[in-house]
């Protein structure tokens, strides 16, 4: 059995960074700040999912990580278009 303490440490530190990003999500002065904070939290979440899949040896977390990356990206694009000009004109 391998020792996965390092991966646990990486996951915990990434979670702390994501929690620190909640400050920017709470009071970003512009809407872009909040969307950017959400995007960064999404990337950190993808990393945490990959680390958890390596720790527990479960492939399903990798699928979840792919889905989270893709849908976070799509959400960012849609909200960016909404910020640039309204969706329906």
Partner 1 sequence: MDTLIVLLYAAGLFFNFSAVLGMLRLPDVYCRLHSSSKNTTLGSLLIVAGLALRAAESGAGPGVLKILLIAVLLLVVTPIGSHALARAAYKRGTPLWARSVVDQYAKAPRPEVTDVSDR
Which chain residues interact with partner 1 by CB under 8 A?
2, 6-7, 10, 13-14, 17, 20-21, 23-24, 30-33, 35-37, 39-40, 43-44, 46-47, 50-51, 53-54, 57, 59, 62-63, 65-66, 69-70, 72-73, 76-77, 80-81, 83-85, 89
Say how far apart CA 79 and CA 32 lie, in whole Å: 9
Say how far apart CA 19 and CA 26 lie, in whole Å: 11
Q: What is the CA radius of gyration of the chain?
A: 16
């Amino acid at each position: 059995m391998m020792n996965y303490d390092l991966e646990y440490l990486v996951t915990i530190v990434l979670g702390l960074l994501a929690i620190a990003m909640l400050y920017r999500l709470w009071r970003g002065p512009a809407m872009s700040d909040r969307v950017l904070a959400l995007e960064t939290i999404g990337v950190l979440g993808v990393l945490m999912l990959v680390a958890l899949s390596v720790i527990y040896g479960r492939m399903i977390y990798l699928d979840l990580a792919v889905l989270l990356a893709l849908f976070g990206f799509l959400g960012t694009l849609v909200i960016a278009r909404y910020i640039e000009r309204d969706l329906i004109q």
